[in-house]
Amino acid sequence: MPTIAPAIAALQTQVPDWVVMLVPWLLALGVAAAATAAAGVWMLLARVKELGRLADRLAVLDEIKTTLARVAREREDLDLRRIEHVLIELRDGQKRLEDTLLRASQFGAKPSELSTPRATEAAGLSERIVQRLLAHGFERVQVVPTLAELEQLFDAEGAHEVLVEARRNGVMCKGHVLVRDGVVVEVELKPAYSMFP
């Protein structure tokens, strides 16, 4: 079996010394390049796996999009203008109902009972005035005339103004309530600061 040493010795005589010294450096550089390439491939594979997980999360958005499109197709018959008109009618109906309830509460006593002045009727009128102002958003309502003065309203014919004081949003308001035949007809109150220049 031939030995390798004579072959190496023959090779050294043909190749210059600097090439022989450069071979280990080239081998080390090749190993480092291979290690760097392997690390880069490993990092790329990790990033691809992470992007795959993110893509799985985004797949849910496609399902949501198809569900929303299906719901929109099913609800095409809903007309927003029609809904708006229904809501407006409901609001107007609520206002009419509130006015009807206020009138009904004012006419709680029978007309024959209203024609005879009594302290209970004056107290009832005072209560109706307070309730009307509370319904208009006022608070701490005070009827200025006494019950005796309110009793005189039942003796007199026509409309009469009853002075009242109340607060709205923390502001003192003064004004009058128009009463005709024991029924509150109109409310007019203004903030007290608007009365002075």
Predicted pLDDT at 44: 94
Predicted pLDDT at 79: 67
Task: Return the H-helix or E-strand segment holding 134.
Answer: helix 119-135
Spatial distance between the Cα atoms of 49 and 163, rounded to a whole number of angstroms: 81
Predicted pLDDT at 88: 82
Predicted pLDDT at 113: 45
* Beta strands in the chain, from DSSP E residues, in sequence order: 139-143, 159-168, 171-180, 183-191
Residue numbers in the chain where pLDDT is lower than 50: 1, 109-118
Q: Say if CB 131 and CB 105 are below 8 A apart.
A: yes
Percent of the chain having pLDDT more than 90? 13
Spatial distance between the Cα atoms of 71 and 81, rounded to a whole number of angstroms: 19
Predicted pLDDT at 45: 94
Q: List the alpha helices (DSSP H) in 75-118.
A: 80-106, 111-114
Helix (H, G, I), strand (E, B) or coil at 197: coil
Predicted pLDDT at 116: 43
The pTM for the full model equals 0.39
Predicted pLDDT at 1: 46
